[in-house]
Structure 1
Amino acid sequence: FISTVDVLVMGSNTYAKVLSFGTWPYEVPVIVLSQRDLSVPNELSDKITISKEAPEDLVQRLSAEGNQRLYIDGASVIQSFLSKGLITDMTITVVPVLIGEGISLFGHTEQDIELEHVSSKAYDFGFTQIKYLVK
């Protein structure tokens, strides 16, 4: 999946979580959307950019730079991109853990968002990936 991605866009909470893993798992460029000032470890300064851009401005800039496939990660960031109609398709990975609290992935939406099922794949280790087009 990640080999199809030009740029990964995530929020500050997701960024903090991924940093806590110890080893940075992404080779693609990462943009962290945050209104706060965040620091980037020196060894990752060529892989991570912090941005305060609005989703539509970011998409416009990245498109102008030739990026076609963005991976949007983090509940709040996903919600903001969905509300602006900036997501064309979704790959949702279901992990077999019921969590008691946290940020709802899609939160409140102003209207229903219709999806068209493309494919589903179950993995032996328990994950299921479901692909949809946003209508």
Structure 2
Amino acid sequence: MRKIILNVAVSMDSFIEDANGAYDWCFMDQDYGMKDFMNRIDTIFFGRKSYELVLKTGLGYYAGYKHYVFSKTWADSSTNNFTLVNKDLSTAVANIKEEARKDIWLFGGASLVSSFMNEGLVDELMLAVHPILLGSGKPLFQDLSARTKLALTDSKTYDTGLVQLQYDILK
């Protein structure tokens, strides 16, 4: 069965963006395992805001993958670059997992991550923990409805101080 993997950059104090919504603190000086990760997936799940951000900067890195945008408010169907999912989350995800040949990247944003976590749909966490304290911003996990136990499966420390942590979610 394909895995849904939350792979995200996070500050030491668990923020995914700063108070101004910026990501300029994320290291971009090397690959940090992304090439291997991108070879592992064939599908990407986006929330509406995250996908709009990707569209503004161009699909580039994300081209060639099947895109699903989860939104109950997006009415713009002017692009054929994605499939809009606006119905029952668990049923839609189960159907998509059957179609996918490889694993699936849960790209985010924060609201979508919370929904997936609360529905028990995430199988694995990959956290690129950056050596910075932002002090405020958007937290990675918001409004979780239950404790979630994790098992560390891998870790890697880079010379920049970034630590890549990989966990299976115990169900």
TM-score normalised to the size of structure 1?
A: 0.81
Q: Identity rate of aligned residues, in percent?
A: 27
Equivalent of residue 56 in structure 1, options 76, 90, 93: 90
Task: State the distance in 2 between where 1:125 and 1:49 align.
Answer: 37
- Asked whether the equivalents of residues 48 and 74 of structure 2 are also in contact (C-alpha less than 8 Å), the reply is no
Q: Greater share of strand residues, 1 or 2?
A: 2
Match of 1:31 among 48, 57, 68: 68
Equivalent positions of 1:19-98 (< 5 A) are 19-26=55-62, 27-39=64-76, 42=79, 45=80, 47-67=81-101, 69-74=103-108, 75-98=110-133
* Larger relative contact order (Cα-Cα within 8 Å, sequence gap ≥ 6): 2
1:86: how far off? Answer: 1.0
Letter in 2 for 1:21: T
Number of aligned positions between the proteins: 132
1:31 maps to a residue whose letter is Y
Aligned in 2, Cα 1:41/1:96: closer, same or farther, shift over 3 Å?
farther
For residues 142 and 120 of structure 2, the distance between their equivalents in structure 1, rounded to whole angstroms, comes to 15
Look up the SS of the partner of 2:94 in the other structure. helix
- Structure 2 counterpart of 1:33, one-letter code: F
Q: Which runs of 5+ in 2 are unaligned?
A: 1-36
Give the counterpart letter for 1:10 in structure 2. Answer: F
Counterpart of 1:2 in structure 2 is 38
Choose 115-124 or 77-86, whichever is displaced more.
115-124
Structure 1 unmatched runs, 5+:
none
User: Quick one: distance in 1 between partners of 2:132 and 2:57?
Assistant: 19
Deviation at 1:39, TM superposition (A): 3.3
Per-residue CA deviation, residues 22-54 of structure 1 (Å, 9 max, x unaligned), is: 353212111111111253665xx2x42222133
1:14 is paired with a residue of what secondary structure?
Answer: helix
Partner of 1:15: 51
Query: Any idea what SS the aligned residue of 1:6 has?
Result: strand
Of stretches 82-91 and 13-22 in structure 1, the one that deviates more from structure 2 is 13-22
Contact in 2 for aligned 1:40/1:48 (Cα 8 Å) = no
Distance 2:100 2:41 in 1: 12
Give the aligned CA root-mean-square deviation in angstroms: 2.2
- Deviation track 1:91-120 (CA, whole Å, cap 9, x = no partner) reads 112234433543321112222111111111
